[in-house]
Amino acid sequence: MKTAFLVDGEFYLKRIRKIAPARAADPEKVARTLLWASLQHLRKLNRGQESLYRIFFYDCPPMDRVLHNPLATRGYNYQKTDSAQFRLAVHDALRKQRKVALRLGRMAPHGSWHIREDKLKALLRGQIQVGDIVESDLFYDCRQKEVDMKIGLDIASLAYNGMVDQIILISGDSDFVPAAKLARREGIDFILDPMWNQINSNLHEHIDGLQSPWPNPNGNRTRGGRQTREEASSAP
């Protein structure tokens, strides 16, 4: 009996900043916390560490080109930014973790600039004018490519080749539904961990269970629901 973990990296990095902000700033802790969470999942399912098949982490390396903010006088190399360097450090830390496989996609060749949501709302409400928008109010949106495809292919491969009997997906969207259906038809026990993120209620019919060992950001601890106080305090 083996359990495989499939982790949407972009989602995980966003949610850990909400759930465990003290650990989210350190790449090494980010990597260790993922392993901790995986072992907690197995513990809840009455499975030992030896049942861990592998943790697949899906993400993209940061952009490696020069961007020109429309309100800036000069461009900057995105790969040199703090956020890009942090992402690369997380990838390196994950490579050093036992039982972790890094699955990297790529960033789309083109993106677009957008106004941050709070500034956009203020602009539409007439609270600020266009001239009040500054460089830091803009962000560059560039989509990941191949990540969802890699997740789907790995789910199919694990199911068809009989490598595992259980898959735990750490994700927050519904793109996984077709792959989850395939896995369940092949007899795979398919569990979703949305890291306490709200999910659509109709997703429950496409999974075999919902489980999150992470500290609830709302401060609730429910033994019947997900996590006990002792488990929360044991996080690395």
pLDDT score recorded for residue 183: 94
3-state SS, the chain, equals CCEEEEEEHHHHHHHHHHHCHHHHCCHHHHHHHHHHHHHHHHHHCCCCHHHEEEEEEEECCCCCCEECCCCCCCCEEHHHCHHHHHHHHHHHHHHCCCCEEEEECEECCCCEEEECHHHHHHHHCCCCCHHHCCHHHEEEECCEECHHHHHHHHHHHHHHCCCCCEEEEECCCCCCHHHHHHHHHCCCEEEEECCCCCCCHHHHHHCCEECCCCCCCCCCCCCCCCCCHHHHHCCC
For residues 78 and 166, membership in a common domain is answered with yes
Q: Which residue has the higher pLDDT, 176 or 51?
A: 51
pLDDT score recorded for residue 227: 41
Is the pLDDT score of 127 beyond 90? yes
User: How many domains does one find in the chain?
Assistant: 2
Mean predicted lDDT score pLDDT of the chain: 86
Answer whether 0.85 is exceeded by the pTM.
Answer: no
Q: Which residue has the higher pLDDT, 227 or 82?
A: 82
pLDDT tens digits along 171-180: 988 888 899 9
For residues 51 and 20, membership in a common domain is answered with yes
CATH number at residue 63: 3.40.50.1010
pLDDT score recorded for residue 228: 37
pLDDT score recorded for residue 188: 96
List the domain range (segments joined by +) for residue 114.
Answer: 109-142
Is the pLDDT score of 16 beyond 60? yes
